[in-house]
Structure 1
Amino acid sequence: MRGTPRHVRGHAHLPDLRPLDVARSLKTKLGVLTIATNTLAVLITWLGLRNHLGPSRTLPLAIAVALVVTLLLARGMTSPLREMTAAARAMADGDYSRRVRATSRDEVGQLAHAFNQMSTDLEQGEQLRRDLIANVSHELRTPVAALHAQLENLVDGVTEPTPATLQVSLAQTERLTRLVSYLLDLSRLEAGASALSVSDVPLERFLADAAGSVAMVEAGKQLEFEVDVQPADLTVPADRDRLRQILTNLLQNAIRHSPFGSTIRLTARRADNHVVIDVADDGPGIAPSDRERVFERFARGASVGSPTAGASGGTGIGLAIVRWAVSLHGGTIEVADSDHGATMRLRLPAPVLERAPGPPDEANPEEDHADR
């Protein structure tokens, strides 16, 4: 960290006067400056002539005073521009903590506010980049070290290549594969939206298959997976690969936070012109203040009751990819309110159901007969 943000100051030998900051327009400032200096010059000239100083003395004095006043006021007007120049040079050297003193309400002040916001965004982006490198390095080092030790033991004959030993190596390889997939998806996210191949997906079997695919990597927590789809033949128009990616990331997130022997519940139902899919776990939940932030790239939310954000681990990429893939479908993802644990609620648009035509109205046969 480079410490707290600091403001850029001008040269110490000249005062930074900003009496014109109350003006809302740069044109107004220039007009006030012109009127003030001209009035001051006329006043000095008049006083000099009245005191019999003569034009040869009064005029140069009036010009000098007008120039000094103009210099001081103009310096205050253009001070944010000089500060932005110095801050931009500092940013080029990697220091994003610089801020510009933005006190005026004119165009220069608006530019200074925008510059400070840009500086903040760049500083946060730099911190996120560092966090990404640290997180990815940690996530890569763990399975690589485990694989290296396992294979070294196999080569040295310390352990036998039993199915259990190979299963451990396979689990570490799958962990590496998931991380590489996250990084590839992140690059697609940065590049923009991807094309979707949309078809009707039967949710009951799809959710069961998704749960089964991650059950093998639940890290020995002996978790139970419950799937409840109402009605049983509920379908949703979606890209199968993207929808599987969404559910896999949500399930892996739920597995990571679930306690030993608990249950992860997948439910789906129709709500008006949307299909709602919930992935709920029995973990510590997500703090309300972090419920929106967890879907940002590289952000890792704090659990309820935990003062430290990101204490639960993870790369902070998975849920950002989920929101990106959901947005491609025109849906939404949120952390829903729940009595315990965390519930990720996915809403995907679905066609409006058309009611089947009913039998003709026969309530008034006489009226029908009369019409004939």
Structure 2
Amino acid sequence: MRLSLTARLFTAVLSTAIAVAFAMGVFTHVNLNRDFLGFLNEQEINRLDQATLSAALAYRENGNSWDFTRLQTHLGGYLLRRGVPTEQAEALKLSPAELMGATRRMTLLDAQRRRVFGYPNPSTDAIERPIEVDGLTVGWMLLTPIDSVSSGAEKRFADAQRRSAWLVGGAATLLAAAVAFWVSRRLLRPVRQVAEATHRLAAGDYAARVPVDDRADREADEVSRLGHDFNHLALTLQRNEAARREFMADVSHELRTPLGVLNGELEALQDGVRTLDAQALRSLKGEVATLHKLVDDLYDLSLADVGALSYRKAELDLRELLADVAAAFGERLQGRSLRLALELPVTPLPLFGDASRLQQLFANLLENSCRYTDEGGAVRLAARTEGRQVVVDVQDSAPGVPADQLPRLFERFFRAEPSRSRASGGAGLGLSICQRIAQAHDGTIKARPSPLGGLWLRVALPLP
């Protein structure tokens, strides 16, 4: 069975702590047996050298004989206390070497290596020192080293060290277990929440969110930022899904209307209800033109979304281009009794851009005014330079657009209801295309209420 991330993290931290505690115990044991015992043996070797020198002096003082050893109950202590003042010798009942048991492991051999006094069974690795008097070796002093701590003070010291090591190791293990538990439960909780929310999001639940801390971004840690990013991603996907559904509904609606009209016209012609005359042909052609315009607009928007809408930019005179567009709409404006006020500068307006796309942009803006402005109203087209920009204003008279709907005018298929409704025609794609064209020329397009009572669209394009 696969362990969860929490269980694996807890196991890893706890195993590391146990391994460290065990390594501390082993190291303490090895260090005690090697370094501590080595230290004790090194101290006893110093005592052995002192006892060897004292034995040589005692041998000479007693007529070059070892007979004096028969009178000593504790020869090692006697040799180590030689040379110490009498008053100190009385106070010093036992030397440090005697406390550590060194005198009990000393062996005195004569010149023929026969035991004279001391430890009866010296080990094969016993440390030897020759006893020399007047250049002759008269005996040997042997010291059996410490193989393990005895039951004396060093034994208690070693036991205390081991207890301390295991106590520290146990405390470290418990602390590591507590930290591992806290980390696995506290720090990984947001990760689990993100994982669960990701599963819901993948299943199509775009409303899935992760509870996050509302602290400032500079104070948020990586896990908190992960939650913020996930929520932002989920919100984007939710909006995209809503936009996709709305787009599909709008496209199907826009296509259904002209197709329904065409189907009705054709059925009427087929059944003989209506004769095939010039008026019928004009009606059919108008519906086909509506379908063709809608498909062209959708195609242009799809190309603009992927950055594939072609532009052939060159130096041009925007003043001349605006005059041509206004002239092309002269007949339509007169047909709706709309007055056109054209305010263009006398000097040229140089611009670097695609003439056909810019003509499409401003034609869509005038088309929008012609379509939605009440008959007998007015349309104003003005252009001028402001700083390093060319500003073009297209204004019309009533009806206007509510202020809360102005930011949505450039959304696809959006039309202000009810004043600028589908009854006036159009699919609501013209302004979206205008926005894409303006952005492709590093410009902007904005909407605001017009002093004339209608809509004011301002296009700002950078000078070359």
Q: Which residue of 1 aligns with 2:97?
A: none
Tell me the equivalent position of 1:98. 208
Any conservation in 2 of the 1:223–1:264 contact (CA below 8 Å)? no
Instruction: Please say which of residues 321-330 and 162-171 is displaced more in the overlay.
Output: 162-171
**Separation of aligned partners in 2, 1:97 and 1:291:** 28
Asked whether the 8 Å contact 1:234–1:269 carries over to 2, the reply is no
1:182 corresponding residue in structure 2: 297
Relative contact order (C-alpha < 8 Å, sep 6+): which is higher? 1
Pair 1:322 & 2:434 matched: yes
Correspondence list, 1:244-283, <5 A: 244-283=359-398
- Cα deviation for residue 272 of structure 1 reads 4.3
C-alpha distance in 1 between matches for 2:190 and 2:425: 42
Q: 2:250, 2:413 within 8 Å by CA — same for their partners in 1?
A: no
The aligned residue for residue 203 of structure 1 is: 321
Q: How does 1:57-76 map to 2 (within 5 A)?
A: 63=173, 67=177, 70-76=180-186
User: What SS class does the counterpart of residue 244 from structure 2 fall into?
Assistant: helix
Counterpart Cα distance in 2 of 1:102 and 1:130: 29
Q: Count the aligned residue pairs.
A: 298
Unaligned segments of structure 1, at least 5 residues: 1-13, 15-32, 38-53, 352-372
User: How far, CA to CA, are the matches of 2:180 and 2:428 in structure 1?
Assistant: 54
Q: Which residues in structure 2 correspond to 1:1-372 (within 5 Å)?
A: 63=173, 67=177, 70-103=180-213, 105-192=220-307, 194-201=310-317, 202-211=320-329, 215=332, 222-224=336-338, 226-231=340-345, 234-237=348-351, 238-295=353-410, 297-298=411-412, 300=414, 302=416, 315-339=427-451, 340-350=453-463
Distance 2:366 2:450 in 1: 17
Question: Given the superposition, is the C-alpha separation of residues 76 and 243 from structure 1 closer, same or farther in structure 2, using an over 3 Å criterion?
Answer: same
Q: 1:230-264, CA deviations, whole angstroms, 9 ceiling, x for partnerless residues?
A: 23564453322201221233233334432344333
- Tell me by how many angstroms 1:314 deviates: 6.2
Assess, with a 3 A threshold, how the Cα gap between structure 1 residues 79 and 150 changes in structure 2: closer, same or farther: same
Change (3 A) 1:80 1:289: farther
Shift of 1:153: 1.5
Q: Which runs of 5+ in 2 are unaligned?
A: 1-5, 7-12, 18-163
| Closer, same or farther: CA 64–278 of 1 in aligned 2, 3 Å | same
> Which residue type is aligned with residue 311 of structure 2?
A
Structure 2 CA distance for aligned equivalents of residues 186 and 70 of structure 1? 55
SS of 1:90's partner is helix
Alpha carbons of 1:61 and 1:311: their partners in 2 closer, same or farther (altered >3 Å)? farther
Gap change, CA 1:176 and 1:233, over 3 Å in 2: farther
Compared CA separation, residues 227 and 177, structure 1 to 2 (3 A) = farther
C-alpha contact 1:329 1:348 (8 A) present in aligned 2? yes
CA RMSD of aligned residues (A): 4.0
- Aligned residue for 1:281, secondary structure, equals strand
Aligned partners of 1:79, 1:315: CA distance in 2, in Å?
Answer: 49
Q: CA deviation at 1:342?
A: 0.6
Structure 1 counterpart of 2:439, one-letter code: S
How far apart are residue 275 of structure 1 and its match?
2.9
Report how far residue 151 of structure 1 moved. 2.1
Q: Which has the larger radius of gyration?
A: 2
* Letter in structure 2 aligned against 1:200: L
Q: In the alignment, residue 322 of structure 1 is paired with which amino acid?
A: C
1:84-134 deviations in Å (ceiling 9; x for gaps): 222222222222110011127211101111111111111001100111001
Cα offset, 1:281, TM superposition = 2.2
Give the equivalent residue in structure 2 for 1:27: none
Task: Give the distance between the partners of 2:425 and 2:200, measured in 1 at CA.
Answer: 34
What is the distance in 2 between the residues matched to 1:187 and 1:88? Answer: 30
TM-score, normalised by the number of residues in structure 1: 0.67
Q: Higher mean Cα deviation, 162-171 or 64-73?
A: 64-73
TM normalised by structure 2 equals 0.55
Shift of 1:331: 2.0
| Aligned-residue identity in percent | 34
Amino acid at match of 1:208: A
8 A contact 2:446–2:457 mirrored in 1: yes
With over 3 angstroms needed to count, the CA separation of the structure-2 counterparts of 1:274 and 1:64, relative to structure 1, is: closer
- 1:312 shift after superposition: 9.2
Tell me: CA distance 1:290–1:78, structure 2 relative to 1, closer, same or farther (3 Å): farther
SS across alignment from 1:267? strand
